[in-house]
Structure 1
Amino acid sequence: MPQPTPTTDPIRPTDDEARALAQRLIREARFGALGTLDPDTGAPVVTRVALGPGPQGELLIFVSSLAAHTTALLRDRRAGLLLGEPGPKGDPLTHPRLSLQVEAHAVERDNPAFPTMRDRWLADHPKSKLYIDLPDFFFFDLRPTSASLNGGFGRAFRLMPADLT
Structure 2
Amino acid sequence: MLEEVDEDEETDEPEGADEPAGTGAEAERATRLLDGACIFLNRPGFPGGAGCALHHLAAREGVPFTLTKPDVCWQLPIRRLFREVERGDATTYTEVSIGEYVRSGWGAGGHELNWYCTSTPAAHRATEPVYRTLATELTALMGPAGYAQLARHCAEIEAAALPLVGHPATRAAQDLLSHRS
TM normalised by structure 1 equals: 0.25
Per residue, is there more strand in 1 or in 2?
1
Question: Greater relative contact order (Cα 8 A, min sep 6): structure 1 or 2?
Answer: 1
TM normalised by structure 2 equals: 0.24
